[in-house]
Amino acid sequence: MELIQSVEISKLGFVPQKLGDLLEHEGPLLSLYIDRDNPENYFLYKWVDNDEKCNRWAILPCTSKDLLAFFEGEKPLRELFLNKPFCFVIDLDEHLQIQSIQIIATEALPEEFLPSEKSFFKEGAFSVFAASYHNILKQKANDPMGNVLKELSELKASQAETTRALYDLIKQREVTH
């Protein structure tokens, strides 16, 4: 597998719960997850590499606003990645057991890990689940009071996520020094 400049961490800091696959070809290529304990926190799992032992996934934290911008064709998937300061890279074996978890600055991701510049959502090219979830997000976006609560929740989640990531980086550096 491609070597990446990242920091190995011991855990993700969230409990992934799969909602469904957005894009498939002989298996999932792009999947949508939430944090089981904080379901307003979304994560896109993008398959990026493999070897004889593991499949590698880039995990991008995102908000419902990010997802809706993607589904509405306002932003390509690549822009969602590049607008985030970091993502996780996880290696899973054939039994879906975690072999490695790393955190990496998205600007340090190898070009081949990033979606193409034309990675816009096209309903026919993506799964039925993707189209269904797009409709769910549109309905939620049309609820004005829900939007206020959602924005506050996303801000809190983003702050907690950044704090966890920084804590893991500090902890890792203390171990190596």
For the chain, domain boundaries: 7-176
**What pLDDT is stored for residue 172 in this prediction?**
74
**What pLDDT is stored for residue 147 in this prediction?**
57
**What pLDDT is stored for residue 167 in this prediction?**
73
Q: Check residue 167 and report its DSSP letter.
A: H
Residue with tokens 């990033």: 114
For residue 156, give the amino acid letter: K
**What pLDDT is stored for residue 123 in this prediction?**
85
**22 near 126, Cβ under 8 Å?**
yes
Residue 17 has pLDDT above 60, yes or no: yes
Mean pLDDT across the chain:
88
Distances (CA, A) of 43 to 5, 32, 81, 173: 21, 6, 11, 26
Query: Across residues 35-51, what is the average pLDDT?
Result: 95
Residue 42 binned pLDDT confidence (cut-offs 50, 70, 90): very high
Q: What is the pTM of this model?
A: 0.80
